[in-house]
Amino acid sequence: MNRVMQASGFRGLSILVLDDEPLLRRQLTGYLESLGMDVTGAGDLAAARKLAKGMGFDFALLDVNLPDGKGTDLLREKVFPPSTGVIVMTAEGGVAGAVEAMKLGALDYLVKPFDPGELPLVIGRARRARQTARLDEFRQEDAAQPDFLFGAALAGVEQQLQRIIAADERVQTGLAPVLILGETGSGKTSIARWLHQHGPRAAQPLVEVNCSALPESLAESELFGHERGAFTDARTARMGLFEAAHEGTLFLDELPSLSLALQAKVLTAIEDRRIRRLGGNKTIEVDVRVIAATNRDLEELVASGQFREDLYHRLDLFRIHLPPLRERGEDIVRIAELLLARLCRRHRLPPRRITAAGRQRLLTYPWPGNVRELAHELERAIVFSDAVELDFATLDVRAGRTPPGGAGLPSEEWFNEAFVFPEQGFSLDAAIERLMRQALRQAGGNVSAAARLLGVSRDVVRYRLEGRKGVPDRPE
């Protein structure tokens, strides 16, 4: 059972094993492969350098003493990127080499001889350290660009959030709930995270729960916890999400999905700052900032009896309305560029650039799925194409437009909305002549038929062509 859990935890991760002893290298390789890892072996520094240059590894397990140098040389040379977690192996008495490796960036070390069974523990520690480093990178980015979600279209939303943060700093405890309204995929979760990360509770837990995903029979237990014996499978007491978020933030996405009875319990928890576990008879104090979100019209739900009016008014102290992506104008391109940079880093791909035509398509596409759909479109573009420049031509088809050279346009539609005029200027005369030649081709060289296609007289066509060339042009 333990081996199964280990394998599922490491399956798919890649690791380089560098050791000059063939028997030990095979032993380590076999054990790591049994955990589901993708293992590559090397016997000297030269082979390791070559492999590191051509492949990206999640981890590297390096021997210190090798025939052509020391494993620490690879760290000194910065052969591995920061995304590779390095673990060194050293013989007894060689701890000084391991200490040197740690100073150079290694995450952990093993003293030979060791039991291969120690590897999951050591790799697990290295994995957690690497994940923490990645999270720190993202936190630094967010700190450097605190308005990454905003821009001109969301200036009002940003001002509202800043006022909420200022009020929180004054109060500190018993923070009032926040209500976020907006279409699916418009960024409600991101706004909730921003509010938590920039407020006085940033160092405390942020607990997120999608209420629509909670089965009705388990929703109360998930939110408020249960005591042992509260129901058939309750063999032990369990902490609920309100307790887990104590002194932090609880984000309740799609709150109207909860039953009216549970809505009443949420209201009590907000107002009294106390909860009672399912099957329990004592109340537990909780200090939780509740952020609720929905894509539905709460006033309509209240009128139809599907949402409690008292809970609605309690939540409506701080209301934030997020406009859909299609209403954010030029901000769409800025959001796309930020998401694109993150996706390229995540997939370890070189930076990509959005062309002028691509920016125009991003601005004219309606984005029914909002920011979430935009992120998926960007990821699709970089995963399924090696192109450095992205023009998002597929958006034309999905929006009912035909890309240049395509087919299937309605007969009355001909203009490609994604067209961008060149900076050096545009020749209207050349475009008119091109249209006339295309009409002549379609009409088989018949000037009268071409004129009918163009909606002009036969003389206009003749004048244009004869005036420019001296004689009418025949179709190619």
Classify the C-alpha dihedral 191-197-202-205 as positive or negative.
positive
On whether residue 152 sits in a domain, the answer given is: no
Mean pLDDT of the chain: 82
- Answer whether residue 207 shows pLDDT above 60: yes
Candidate from 66-80, 376-390, 422-436 with smallest mean pLDDT: 422-436
On whether residue 155 sits in a domain, the answer given is: no
The residue among 287, 303, 321 that closes a domain is 321
348 and 215, same structural domain? no
| CATH code assigned at 23 | 3.40.50.2300
The residue among 321, 337, 364 that closes a domain is 321
| pLDDT value for 102 | 87
| pLDDT value for 394 | 80
211 and 355, same structural domain? no
| CATH code assigned at 448 | 1.10.10
278 and 176, same structural domain? yes
| Greater model confidence, 213 or 133 | 213
Amino acid in the structure at residue 332:
I
On whether residue 415 sits in a domain, the answer given is: no
201 and 70, same structural domain? no
Q: Residue 449: which domain range?
A: 428-469
| CATH code assigned at 297 | 3.40.50.300
Q: How many domains does the chain have?
A: 4
189 and 299, same structural domain? yes
- Answer whether residue 130 shows pLDDT above 70: no
List, for residues 168-206, the tens digit of each pLDDT value: 988 877 899 999 999 998 889 989 999 999 999 998 888
**pTM of the complete model:** 0.55
The residue among 296, 321, 346 that closes a domain is 321
CA dihedral 123, 125, 129, 134 (to 10 degrees): 50
On whether residue 350 sits in a domain, the answer given is: yes
Across the range 386-400, mean pLDDT stands at 80
| pLDDT value for 55 | 73
Going by pLDDT thresholds of 50, 70 and 90, the confidence category of residue 57 is: confident
168 and 131, same structural domain? no
List, for residues 304-334, the tens digit of each pLDDT value: 999 999 999 999 989 999 999 988 888 899 8
The residues facing 263 across adjacent strands are: none
353 and 333, same structural domain? yes
| pLDDT value for 397 | 66
| CATH code assigned at 334 | 1.10.8.60
187 and 73, same structural domain? no
List, for residues 230-279, the tens digit of each pLDDT value: 787 766 557 788 888 888 899 999 999 999 999 999 999 999 998 888 88
| pLDDT value for 132 | 53
